[in-house]
A and B are shown apart, each in its own frame.
Chain A
């Protein structure tokens, strides 16, 4: 059984620009007043904040929020970035330009087109020399990212950052894959964190996830990263819970949430 303490959480969805806003929404059904259309990633120099792709902006925002919530220095953390499709706006731009005027491809758009753009900007912005990875696994992207973060803890890392995100599907490629709005979530996972943080245990089993019908899933369920939302809903409720996350065809990552550090000692690792 893999396990971790959850020290910090970051979240972003339309109208819900923080984890606090998401928890308030679950309790009251109200969106945050005057929420910005997208975050302004504080890690980047001011002149890059507006130009950076939406997907990078939300990923950096939730990653930093999770680190701040945990009181951890981002530069010390290995990181796992999970995204189903990367940035559709850039894919649309690249393919459209290549079909017309390939010799005019923008060098900046090209280097932003790599799937690890967000993780690259993260390590550059935090001046981190720790390992970073970027993965994709269709609707299992979040579960596989969580699994990789848990495996890094099992391999001896003290704390690992997980950030998961997807953006709006654009252009003709967006008619192949429907993904609406911006959605991102981050978890700061550790072997032994604050006494009060919830503990997460996980194992891979056969099965299919039940239909997601919680408030966050109804609000942001049309984004490609929506399969992560049942876990964030369970975290918001703060009670012991079991969640089945899509982990591939016919497979789920079965996650149990337990309150407090005492649960960590009962883990048979």
Chain B
């Protein structure tokens, strides 16, 4: 732990939501986790190449995005990713909570920090499949997709800025699969330093050719539904999702409805490889240790840990090894990617919402699809659901480039 590490006051989580293959909003997520209803289906996501069939794999696709156009005044931002962002903003009162924060503090005091790995590259892929030559033979995007705003990584942040009217610092974090966990950290720093009074954090990632065929090229995609921590796991299932949370200084809340808090965070780098974890899990351990230290709790006080748990052979055994070294066997730790698939840059917010559901409802999800315990994994890794009250929950999100983030949430 760096000597400079400061403990920090918890931040209130005033609203939070997730939309995944399990459905729209928190109630749909909680119901599916409780009843062990998974959201994965055979890959039916169309390719942009003529005559190419979808990959033989399973995906966590959000129903109904195709039938949910953006409102006319936001039509410049039309694309699958921003549609999912808009759907997610309509759930669980997030839009009203942001409007309320703008009313109370002023638009320039509400920050927007969102994470994504692909942003709206799906729209760029589609434009390439429909290129049109001009008189000189240069290839151009078709007119309906010649909208520069959707062909850049900040598409998501700029869209959310326009959709909410917030005028505080607005930034898109793109650290692959840790993106929308790191947004909590960046927002906490903004609020702690007094640059914002509230921050909308979140993340959105949608299925597209880049991730499906990219992960396939790395031989990391399973042809069956993913089985995190199972002895026979053989790769991940990709999913799409969106989610948001509104953070505020704890002292600004005088009513009883904001009992959920962001208590601590830890960030680190593996310093090892672009797409393989550090063999001893060094970066993962540093992130988890720093998050516990900032939260001011020791490992035995953690009640639930949502693991990164992608179901690739290397990731899971290394993460389990670190968890076994850090936590007592009583810890309930699980991967929820068997329910949603790996939602990449949205995994941080989705699985933070799952950790918050564990705190709110005492619902500790197990690990869907997995049945054969890997002897390399310790007793912390749970396949079955459990129900009991917990006071602190952690979420791990680890990304390409060895980029790690762990968050500790609490119920105060």
Residues on A close to B: CB < 8 A? 2, 75, 78, 84-86, 91, 94-96, 98-103, 105-107, 110-117, 119-121, 123-124, 126-138, 140-141, 144, 147-148, 151-152, 154-158, 171-173, 175-177, 204, 206, 247-251
Q: Is the CB of B401 within 8 A of A175?
A: no
Known: A99-B131, A137-B154, A176-B151. 15 other contacts (CB 8 A): A94-B210, A96-B128, A98-B213, A105-B214, A107-B219, A110-B218, A111-B274, A113-B214, A123-B269, A127-B271, A131-B268, A134-B173, A151-B190, A155-B8, A251-B167
Supposing A103-B213, A138-B158, A249-B161 touch, asked if A116 and B124 sit within 8 A by C-beta, the answer is no
Q: Is the CB of B154 within 8 A of A102?
A: no
Write out the residue numbers on chain B whose beta carbons fall within 8 Å of the beta carbon of A249.
161, 167
Residue of B nearest to A2 (CB): B193
Instruction: Decide yes or no whether B367 CB sits under 8 A from chain A.
Output: no
Instruction: Decide yes or no whether B171 CB sits under 8 A from chain A.
Output: yes
Return the 8 tightest CB-CB contacts between A and B, nearest first: A120-B401, A115-B174, A131-B267, A110-B214, A123-B269, A95-B128, A98-B209, A136-B153
Q: Is the CB of B125 within 8 A of A120?
A: no
In the assembled complex, the CB of A87 is this many whole angstroms from the nearest CB of chain B, namely: 11
Instruction: Decide yes or no whether B67 CB sits under 8 A from chain A.
Output: no
Write out the residue numbers on chain A whose beta carbons fall within 8 Å of the beta carbon of B286.
129
Q: Is the CB of A148 within 8 A of B171?
A: yes
Instruction: Decide yes or no whether B152 CB sits under 8 A from chain A.
Output: yes
How far does the alpha carbon of A242 sit from the alpha carbon of B274 in the complex, in Å?
40
Q: Is the CB of A124 within 8 A of B273?
A: yes
Q: Is the CB of A98 within 8 A of B271?
A: no
Write out the residue numbers on chain B whose beta carbons fall within 8 Å of the beta carbon of A85.
152-153
Instruction: Decide yes or no whether B22 CB sits under 8 A from chain A.
Output: no
Write out the residue numbers on chain B whose beta carbons fall within 8 Å of the beta carbon of A110.
210, 213-215, 217-218
Q: Is the CB of B402 within 8 A of A123?
A: yes
**Range class of the B interface residue count:** 35 or more
Q: Is the CB of B140 within 8 A of A175?
A: yes
How far does the alpha carbon of A112 sit from the alpha carbon of B275 in the complex, in Å?
10
Instruction: Decide yes or no whether B117 CB sits under 8 A from chain A.
Output: yes
Q: Which of A95, A129, A175 contacts B282 (CB 8 A)?
A: A129
In the assembled complex, the CB of A78 is this many whole angstroms from the nearest CB of chain B, namely: 8
Instruction: Decide yes or no whether B37 CB sits under 8 A from chain A.
Output: no
Listed by A's residue number, 30 A-B pairs whose Cβ atoms lie within 8 Å are: A91-B124, A94-B209, A94-B210, A96-B128, A98-B48, A99-B48, A107-B217, A107-B275, A110-B214, A111-B274, A112-B274, A115-B153, A115-B174, A115-B176, A119-B401, A120-B402, A123-B269, A124-B271, A129-B283, A132-B401, A134-B174, A134-B175, A140-B171, A144-B169, A151-B186, A151-B189, A154-B193, A157-B2, A172-B128, A175-B141
Q: Which of B131, B214, B267, B268 contacts A172 (CB 8 A)?
A: B131
Residue of B nearest to A251 (CB): B167
Q: Is the CB of A102 within 8 A of B52?
A: yes
Q: Is the CB of B47 within 8 A of A172?
A: no
Q: Which of B138, B153, B210, B403 contacts A119 (CB 8 A)?
A: B403
How far does the alpha carbon of A185 sit from the alpha carbon of B1 in the complex, in Å?
29
Q: Which of B158, B213, B401 contacts A102 (CB 8 A)?
A: B213
Instruction: Decide yes or no whether B6 CB sits under 8 A from chain A.
Output: yes
